[in-house]
A = this chain, B = another copy of it.
């Protein structure tokens, strides 16, 4: 069968796969060409609102909890005492909201290059923006690569790279120079976590990210796996790296007794996300 224009489709000729969500009455809620990218929001039949950047699905109302919780809580519950957190990208504000659920966090910067992403989120994903006015939050619209390059050495506990795919504005985020600067601005014991694409269809990229992080000076790396329906293959990953840190410091009791609600994350899911399938174990051992 073929799909008509009542569906939004993200397709990749290179991967040979496509994912589609049915639209509600062909309703496009937002369409802005920013200086950086095209930002659109659609209303869908089954997944609530859908943000699309340069044709790629970014966030849906229904399934964003998977991604946002997994970009925030595993790293925050691995760091012994995360106080100063930086989010690079993350303009939809969902990761920021999760970060601020942790009482230890004293300051959280969200540095997205594109203000239009946040403007769209405020209108069409207001629940993700619920903590934007938290006194600990700082929303900046600036080049995250430059911000990291300019930041003070040993000043940050956790960097969350919540970026688009490694093409366009996000390309420089998947590089050794960027990670050298991340390493420089982290305090000893600091962690960086990066969304690292699909283990099934972007395995080479996942291998590259481990290599890049190690080359940049990090002592340890660990990938987390989780489902993410609207991203290619439906299976996604994030990769953590530790500066003078083993990453074997999961604060299990704190996760078990966390004082906030989640939809996906909990102590068991944290541990589950760390398990490597056989093919991934082999792919990462071979690097």
Contact = CB atoms under 8 A, between A and B. Distances in A.
Interface stretch (A146-154, A157-165, A211-219, A274-282): A274-282
Contact of A234 (B1, B234, B266, B274): B234
Interface string A188-227: 0000000000001100000000000000000000000101
A183 B161 CA distance: 50
A130 interface: no
Contact of A22 (B13, B200, B262, B278): B13
Given A20-B20, A46-B201, A262-B278, 10 more contacts: A1-B55, A9-B18, A11-B22, A16-B46, A17-B46, A17-B47, A200-B229, A227-B235, A234-B234, A272-B274
Contacts of A269: 275-278
Interface in A2-46: 2-5, 7, 9, 11, 13, 15-22, 44-46
A266 to B, nearest CB: 5
A184 to B, nearest CB: 34
Nearest to A231: B234
Contact of A47 (B4, B16, B264, B281): B16
Contacts of A228: 234
A21 B268 CA distance: 34
Contact of A17 (B5, B22, B272): B22
Interface size, A (range)? 35 or more
A1 B52 CA distance: 13
Contacts of A5: 2
Contacts of A139: none
Q: Which of A227, A229, A262, A264 is packed against the most chain B CB atoms within 10 Å?
A: A227
A16 B9 contact: no
24 contacts: A3-B9, A11-B22, A13-B22, A16-B47, A17-B19, A17-B20, A17-B22, A18-B19, A19-B20, A20-B20, A201-B229, A227-B235, A228-B234, A229-B233, A234-B235, A263-B278, A264-B278, A266-B275, A266-B281, A268-B276, A269-B276, A269-B277, A271-B272, A272-B272
Nearest to A273: B272
